[in-house]
A and B are shown apart, each in its own frame.
Chain A
Amino acid sequence: KAGVTQTPRYLIKTRGQQVTLSCSPISGHRSVSWYQQTPGQGLQFLFEYFSETQRNKGNFPGRFSGRQFSNSRSEMNVSTLELGDSALYLCASSFLGAPNEKLFFGSGTQLSVL
């Protein structure tokens, strides 16, 4: 079974641009969540989608948005990029998104904002 796939692996953008990241969950998994990882803050939760609906949202500004498609694939968009958005963005999937389910993470997209 293929793991969680995130594309692209690396991105370099400039301030003010927007970016779209993609995540393909493990086949059969319907919950997809996104995290921002930075050296100082660890893993910060962005949002979680289940069956195309955003079910949970973290404390990030509205510039961060996402969506999930009918095949459970998910995209995350960041508009008007800021230098502080430079981070590793991780996607995780699970079967139902139940509270005590194991999360399967992708390898992430490393975003650099210049």
Chain B
Amino acid sequence: QQQVKQSPQSLIVQKGGISIINCAYENTAFDYFPWYQQFPGKGPALLIAIRPDVSEKKEGRFTISFNKSAKQFSLHIMDSQPGDSATYFCAAGSGGSYIPTFGRGTSLIVHP
């Protein structure tokens, strides 16, 4: 049972474009939604995270949009750069359980 569904599986964007990755969750107990970025040969690293009491959080070119009623959240990468080429994982966590549930990942390629 996949509690966090992530799409698309892969994404190709031109430099300067907007990259959008979507995630949907089922468990309404989730109350913490982080995004991790993973470069080849490295482990994932926390990129940005949001709680359900806000609808949007922005850090530089990265923005999380959160829709509590639809149980969806998304990552937007503005002005995408080749250096953003990586695998992105969304995750959802709950105060009742330490273990975050990860999406299956999106491989992003940004062409120069």
**A and B held together in a complex:** yes
Q: From residue A53, how far is it (CB to closest CB) to chain B in Å?
A: 13
Is the beta-carbon distance between A41 and B104 smaller than 8 angstroms? yes
Is the beta-carbon distance between A90 and B98 smaller than 8 angstroms? no
Interface centre among B93, B99, B101, by most chain A C-beta atoms within 10 angstroms, is: B99
Which of B14-22, B42-50, B76-84 lies on the face that meets chain A? B42-50
Please, which residue of chain A has its CB at the minimum distance from the CB of B46? Answer: A102
Cα separation A40 to B10 with both chains bound (whole Å): 12
Is the beta-carbon distance between B98 and A98 smaller than 8 angstroms? yes
Please, which residue of chain A has its CB at the minimum distance from the CB of B4? Answer: A42
Cα separation A102 to B43 with both chains bound (whole Å): 13
Q: From residue A17, how far is it (CB to closest CB) to chain B in Å?
A: 25
Is the beta-carbon distance between B41 and A107 smaller than 8 angstroms? yes
Does B73 count as interface, using CB distance less than 8 angstroms? no
Taking CB atoms, residues of chain B closer than 8 Å to A43 are 44, 89, 102, 105
6 tightest CB-CB pairs across the interface, nearest first? A105-B43, A42-B104, A43-B102, A100-B32, A42-B105, A102-B46
